Structure 1
Amino acid sequence: MAKRRNVSKIMVACEWASCTFKSQSMEELSDHMSLHLKEHLGEGDAMEELEDYPCLWRGCEFLAMGSQSELIAHAHFHIFHSKLKYIGTQLLESHPDLPSCTQDLHSSSLVPDVSEGFVCQWQHCDSSFNNPEWFYRHVDMHAHCTELQPLPDRQQALFCSWSGCDAFFKIKYRLREHLRSHTQERLVACPTCGCMFSSNTKFFDHIQRQAEPEDSLTCGHCDKAFANERLLRDHVRQHVNHIKCPLCDMTCTSLSTLKIHIKFRHCDERPFPCDFCESSFKNQHDLRRHMETHNEGAAYHCTVEGCGYSSRMAHTMNQHYKRVHEDNMVPRYKCHLCDKTFSWCYTLTLHLRKKHQLKWPSGHSRFRYKKDEDGYLRLNMVRFETVEVTEEVIKNMAEKRTPRKVSGSTSHSKEPMLHPDSSNSTPQHSSSPSSPSSSSSTSELLEGTDSSGLKGDETSVYCVLNTVTEVSGDPEEMDQPGGPSGAVRALAAVARGLGMDVV
């Protein structure tokens, strides 16, 4: 086995324009980058206010719009990112048996959006930074200086004093590790694609995902194959919703997903205004896409020979290329109700909503599609949730349900899974875990044990199958392979494939 190298010492190269400077000191590298920025932006009275400021780091096409401070924070993050890529290189050299990353090389110099800079939210501290290295060191110092405090049971603990956090730990290492969830600090980056990771283990997982998957290690829910069992177990957790939004019935697989959902679905704050109109946006990415609408004339032209298509916006040009030159309009999506095919998921979504009057699951914003045995992508009607989350959703549904007459039928204000609109006269049936005894029910709740180690222990999981199909009520038809009981048997097989004991 190769001897593990010491990654405590670094050697980072500056890639600003044609610079060839290298150093082992982050302090020296940061001072060096500051000189580049002073030369690039000017200083004092010589600083010229421009509409945009380009980044000169090799391979980076970032443009700070009207903000010198944004470019300064962005440029210093390049230095920090290079340090993480060096650490990743050292780790790979110490594990020569690992495969090579095959991701897009174009992203190796891309860094995350740091337009807001770095602000410490530790209690009674309002320090701000334009350099991630100093920010992370500053926050780590808070953890280092934190003293043990008494708990009600006479024990002692180290409390996290970050704004809005009440976590506590027994040892400082755990507190320091926890603080990275607030600062989003990453410890290593892939030298090939530039992706950053919060631990060496996650970095190695990223590399191992590039290996040839084993046919025997396949997810029973989405048919994705993996190179080892741990990657498969981690993947299976992503199919289980164990977090519920406190403001609606949306259920999520992670806290980060929940935060994004709340930001875009329940918050009205739009801190990113457009300089050319009255529009404002919730994040920098949406603002940049909007700014392209103010381009005079066509800023983007199709590069395919003989194609004269042009557009003012980059994402419109990307859609054109995929639709016309890449996919050749080959239908990849198929309706599970009428077998009509579509080239794009959004056209199938419109079809399901207008033709079959299907609604989104309660709290969710869009349909999900899954690859079927025949290669087509069809509507995914299976959702896995923990018992606690399911019971909470059912409780909310019971509180919100207000029966009302619509065209001679009863409509409910909330349904947990896909169902036809009650205004549709077609006698289609749906189901809900809250009403399993309904005569039109085509779902079954399978409660078992998830052996994947969700939350670190055994956790009960509800597997909810909802089929939207016409059912005549004939017992013989009910037991056909495509009928409800056949679908439930198929779900039971999926549940067992995910390591759950179905009862």
Structure 2
Amino acid sequence: MADLPKKLMTSKILDRCSKWVESQQDYPYLEEDTAKRKLEESEYDDWYNTDSEFDSVSECGAKRHKVGIQLKNEALDLTCEWTACTFRSNHMDQFMRHVSSHIPNIHISMKDDNEVYACQWKDCSYYTDVCDEIVQHVNYHAYHTKLKCIGSNVRGRTKLPRCRRDPEWRNIIDSPSPHMCRWEECLQMFKNYQMYLYHVTIHMKDCPRGNRVKDGVKCKWTGCNGKYPSLYKLRDHMKCHTKEKIVACPDCGATFASKTKFHTHCQRQIPLEVQGFQCSHCNKFYPTEKILRDHMRSHVFNYKCSLCDMSCESPASLAKHVRYRHVSTRTFPCQLCSHAAKSQQDLDSHMTVHTNGPNFSCHFEGCLYTCKGAYTLDRHVERVHGLAVRWYCCHECPIKYRKSYRLTKHLIETHQLQLPSGHKRFHYTQDEDGCYRLQMVRYEAVDEENESLVKEAKLPDKKYKLELNQTTSLTKVKIVEDNMEEVETVQDLQEEITDSDVGKSMPVISNILISIDEVDEKGNIIKRQIVETQETNELPPSEEPPLILT
């Protein structure tokens, strides 16, 4: 009887499916209708649904499952955007060869009385006077086009909203620093980023395979000592060394290391009036509850540094704090000079020193500003071309500044405020009026399990004594609780042991480590020396009987 409802439900679904199939047999499908239907399916301007690409509901009511498409199986529609070029291809290798064929025809123009190579890709304003840099830049356009095709496919399958950023930036790319392989000091240079990734993959073919490799799979990149349980985890880790991205937004050109980050990027483009999730701490709005929860974690500082009073919001922030505040070693040396950095990001920023000319230029018409860093360009656009002015206002008096460090100096000198314990600066948050003011509230989580229990522990009110037992010719001493019983004294036991018994059946004494510490007047250890004695089966002669502590 229990199986009867299941059979009835299955029969109902089959009847619905069969009726729908019969109804479609007599329906005349025209080519115009098919093309129109495909066009409507490709337009997602008004869609804000973000269902997963792995499941959906069919028209007959039953749920069907989709299998995720691997990156190597993505259908590519690669279009060359070089000036006056209409080449299209479905194969990445063929497309890369075609883009490389444009390099000999690069336009040479004059910039500040110097001849420079100017990129002729659509909406790209990059130029340089170094031949190798322009070759690397043009080849990266081919790789970037592949990422935009993958992003277009992912957005079409998951019905993500379109990006509403300025489309003129879709081809403004910042190619990674020089493509140098550092696997076991390989140091081979590449001008094509895709070939660089192929080369690094070849190095990892010699690594052991399996889900749980014994002793782990070691990363052999220079300066990295990481170990991972499988080759798959190692490949995922290598993205932090090669700066590999797997998907790009087809509208604004932003690149991402995972599809999840691309989903979040598209969801953030929902108009502000539709975003209904507001943070109670900073009053910012977010489109989904998941993004709001991820944002709220940044307001809770529950990772405390064991070397100072600083607390951080994530393990990565804590590791960064320790690296810059408490560690003096620099494990990322520059291959072109004697400089060494504390992180790969700092080393990448340093590499701009070895490039000739600026790497970024202002895109506003009539502005000739150029610089080497993306952050510097963003601040230039905000200060010079931005309509809003960033003000840092004092919460105690009506004074305000354009620089945060000037407000910090004002708070310390005028209002006698002190920096929080473990911090090097004040934190400022933006209020509803647009001004930045001192952050007055800070959430810190205290893990009670990690607190020391030494202060709360109380030793029991008991007395202890030494108990001497003579089971053999030697006297053994034990520490026992004092129960006020009378025992023999040490002197009485020592008198019963004859001198002839000393030296019989002596125990083996293991190596002994003697630590000699030299301390100053305050009790701090300034010098330590460890001395190791030889193993022996005999004790040195002594007039007193030997005692063995157990």
In 2, the alpha carbon distance for the partners of 1:237 and 1:248 equals 20
CA distance in 1, matches of 2:379, 2:217: 51
Query: In 2, Cα distance between the equivalents of 1:371 and 1:384?
Result: 17
Counterpart mapping for 1:54-453 below 5 A: 54-64=118-128, 66-96=129-159, 98-114=160-176, 116-147=177-208, 155-212=214-271, 217-240=277-300, 242=303, 253=314, 255=316, 283=349, 327=387, 332-342=391-401, 345=404, 348-349=407-408, 351-352=410-411, 355-356=414-415, 367-372=426-431, 376-384=435-443
In 2, Cα distance between equivalents of 1:250 and 1:52: 49
Distance change (3 Å), C-alpha of 1:368 and 1:36: same
Following the alignment from structure 2 to structure 1, what is the Cα–Cα distance between the partners of residues 426 and 352?
22
Q: In the superposition, relative to structure 1, how do residues 58 and 215 fare at CA in structure 2: closer, same or farther (>3 Å)? A: closer
Aligned equivalents of 2:216, 2:243: Cα separation in 1: 23
Q: Which of 310-319 and 344-353 deviates more?
A: 310-319
Cα 1:147–1:311, aligned 2, differ >3 Å: closer, same or farther?
A: closer
Does the CA-based 8 Å contact 1:289-1:313 persist in structure 2?
Answer: no
Q: What residue in structure 1 maps to residue 86 of structure 2? A: 20
Task: After TM superposition, give the deviation of residue 353 of structure 1 in Å.
Answer: 5.3
Confirm or deny: 8 A CA contact 2:304 2:310 kept in the other structure: no
Q: How far apart, CA to CA, are the structure 2 residues paired with 1:84 and 1:77?
A: 11
Q: How far is the alpha carbon of 1:197 from its aligned partner?
A: 1.0
Contact 1:250 1:362 in 2 (8 A): no
> Whole-Å Cα distance in 1 between the matches of residues 104 and 74 of structure 2?
30
Secondary structure of the corresponding residue to residue 158 of structure 2: coil
Question: What is the identity, as a one-letter code, of the residue corresponding to 2:156?
Answer: E
Over 3 Å counting, the alpha-carbon distance change for 1:326 and 1:10 in structure 2 is closer
Q: How far 1:22 moved relative to its partner?
A: 1.5
Separation in 2, partners of 1:200, 1:262: 30
The size of the alignment, in residue pairs, is 359
Q: CA deviation at 1:179?
A: 1.3
Q: 1:120-140 deviations in whole A, cap 9, x for unaligned?
A: 222253332111111112222
The offset of 1:83, in angstroms, is 0.3
- Aligned partners of 1:55, 1:19: CA distance in 2, in Å? 14
Residues 240, 137 of structure 1: alpha-carbon distance in 2 compared, 3 angstrom cutoff: farther
Structure 2: runs of 5 or more not aligned: 1-55, 58-65, 109-113, 338-346, 452-550
Q: 1:387 to 1:26 in 2, by over 3 A?
A: farther
Does the C-alpha gap of structure 1 residues 166 and 346 become closer, same or farther in structure 2, counting only changes over 3 Å?
Answer: closer
Structure 1 pair 19/363, CA: closer, same or farther in 2 (3 Å)? farther
Structure 1 contact 368–379 (Cα < 8 Å) conserved: yes
For the Cα contact (< 8 Å) 1:239–1:253, is it kept in 2? no
d(CA) in 1 for partners of 2:350, 2:321:
14
| Distance in 2, Cα, partners of 1:320 & 1:176 | 38
Q: Please give the secondary structure, in 1, of the residue aligned with 2:429.
A: strand
Whole-angstrom distance in 2 between the partners of 1:173 and 1:301: 41
Structure 1 residue 320: deviation in Å?
Answer: 8.4
Distance, in Å, in 1 between the alignment partners of 2:320 and 2:405 is 25
Which secondary structure does the structure 1 equivalent of 2:187 belong to? coil
- When residues 79 and 284 of structure 1 are mapped into structure 2, their CA distance, relative to the original with a 3 A threshold, is farther
Q: Note closer, same or farther for the CA distance 1:300–1:172 as it changes in structure 2 (3 Å cut).
A: closer
Q: What letter matches 1:87 in structure 2?
A: I
**Quick one: distance in 2 between partners of 1:31 and 1:176?**
26
Deviations 1:57-102 (A, max 9, x none): 11111122x3211111111111101100000001111122x22211
Q: C-alpha separation between the residues in 2 aligned to 1:85 and 1:371?
A: 34
The one-letter code sitting in structure 1 at the alignment partner of 2:120 is L
CA shift, 1:313, in A, is: 6.0
Between the aligned residues of both structures, percent identity stands at 32
Q: Give 1:204 deviation, angstroms.
A: 0.7
In 1, Cα distance between the equivalents of 2:334 and 2:422?
22
TM-score normalised according to structure 2 size: 0.53
Structure 1 pair 16/142, CA: closer, same or farther in 2 (3 Å)?
same
By how many angstroms is 1:259 displaced? 6.3
| TM-aligned CA deviation for residue 169 of structure 1 | 2.6
Aligned-pair distance for 1:190? Answer: 0.5
Question: Based on CA coordinates, which of the two structures has the bigger radius of gyration?
Answer: 2
In the alignment, which residue of structure 2 is the partner of 1:40?
A: 106
String of CA shifts for 1:430-476, please: whole Å, max 9, x gaps.
xxxxxxxxxxxxxxxxxxxxxxxxxxxxxxxxxxxxxxxxxxxxxxx
Paired residues of 1:148 and 1:157 also in contact (CA < 8 A): no
The one-letter code of the counterpart of 2:83 is A
Closer/same/farther in 2, CA of residues 68 and 179 from structure 1, 3 Å limit: same
The CA deviation at 1:36 is 1.0
Measured after TM superposition, the shift of residue 381 of structure 1 is: 4.1
Q: Cα distance, 1:363 vs. partner?
A: 7.2
SS of residue matched to 1:141: helix
Aligned to 1:397: none
DSSP 3-state at the match of 1:230: helix
Work out which of the residue numbers 29, 34, 53 in structure 1 matches 2:95. 29
Q: Deviations over 1:280-299 (max 9, x none)?
A: x983797699967xxxxxx9
2:107–2:118 CA contact under 8 A, matched in 1: no
AA matched with 2:278: T
RCO comparison, higher one (Cα < 8 Å, 6+): 1
The runs of 5 or more residues in structure 1 that have no matched partner are 43-49, 274-280, 293-298, 305-309, 393-503
CA contact (8 A) 2:79 2:88 kept: yes
TM-score normalised to structure 1 length: 0.57
